[in-house]
Structure 1
Amino acid sequence: MNPPSSPAEERPHPHRVSDLIPRKTLETCLARIETHRRLLETIRRLLPPPLAHHCRECVAGDGTLVLYAESAAWASQLRFYLPRIIEELAQEGHGQFRRGKVRTLSLAMEAPRAAPRRPAPHRPLPATIAAIDAAARASEGDIGTALARLCSTLRRLPR
């Protein structure tokens, strides 16, 4: 009689990438990734420093160069530099692009960033709380109720 198998034994072992993709195909993909990385690095070098950081990606193919900016504001600035970039890429031997486009990179496609930390709420000055309390007492209906709740919440905040 065999002992019961553990859950780890039941799971198939993960495969190596080289077992799933032929080596020649993998080498071709890695070479294209490296070419793409170098092209993006060159494009960023040709841009002014503040703008270079906001050029997030590039795609080259069929004589067209597409640059991706992180927002519409940065995209409009990239459009201004695009003709010069195409010209300088040709001079440096990075291909002949007949035309260029600039697109805005969707936030969903971009790598997630840590959300900025929100500052802890602080208690307003006592005079501010007193003014809100006075307004609550002077107001009727929903406004007075809402101001009274706000005043109560502000009193509970840490100093």
Structure 2
Amino acid sequence: MTPNHPAQPAEERPHPHRVSDLIPRKTLAAYLARIESHRRLLETIRHLLPPPLAARCRDCVAASDTLVVYAESAAWASQLRFYLPRIINELAQDGHGRFRHGKVRTLPLTLAAPHVPAPRPNLHRPRPTTIAALDAAARASEGEIGAALARLCDTLRRLPR
């Protein structure tokens, strides 16, 4: 026993509360049933997808007549959109027929992580002969292409050696 922490009788010590003490059992049972239903729906959706795409299917939300499926990135979401009508039809056949509409959204793996830009590569000026060739092409070209090539030459000349 230290002077800063006097002994407390066991009944007076603070103790963590159990979830069942904070939420009525019926309410807790209803929430657990909804969680299990959600887990089964997500598992069914993943089962209907090819393995690489199923691994990138992050979550789903079932709201009245709309099913929202979340993919890990925009690239995977575009592939998932292709399968969405089939998923809705299969769910209807399996007894989940309440969905008439489907949406696909992205849900990245790390929402809270700050975005760190990729390091820029070391840019070096191309050989003078390359810049001269581009400059000649800029003078020989007319309109927007000639102007774009001229801007490119100016940018390349400003790069470090």
* Closer, same or farther: CA 87–7 of 1 in aligned 2, 3 Å: farther
List aligned pairs for 1:135-150, cutoff 5 A: none
Contact 2:66 2:103 in 1 (8 A): yes
TM-score w.r.t. the length of structure 1 is 0.62
1:13 aligns with 2:15: yes
Within-5 A mapping of 1:87-106: 87-106=89-108
Q: 2:41 aligns with which of 39, 45, 52?
A: 39
Percent identity for Structure 1 against Structure 2: 76
Name whichever of 61-70 and 9-18 sits farther off. 9-18
2: distance between equivalents of 1:22 and 1:8? 34
1:65 deviates by: 0.2
Amino acid at match of 1:92: D
Cα separation, partners in 2 of 1:15 and 1:86, compared to 1, 3 Å = same
Aligned residues: 111
TM-score of the pair, normalised by structure 2 = 0.61
CA distance in 2 between counterparts of 1:67 and 1:91 reads 18
Q: Deviations over 1:4-27 (max 9, x none)?
A: 672895872110000000000000
Structure 1 CA distance, aligned partners of 2:35 and 2:105?
20
SS of aligned partner of 2:97: coil
Corresponding residue of 1:61:
63
The root-mean-square deviation of aligned C-alpha atoms, in Å, is 2.7
Q: Where does the alignment leave 5 or more consecutive residues of structure 1 unmatched?
A: 113-142, 145-159
The structure-2 alpha-carbon separation of the partners of 1:15 and 1:84, relative to structure 1 and needing over 3 Å to count, comes to same
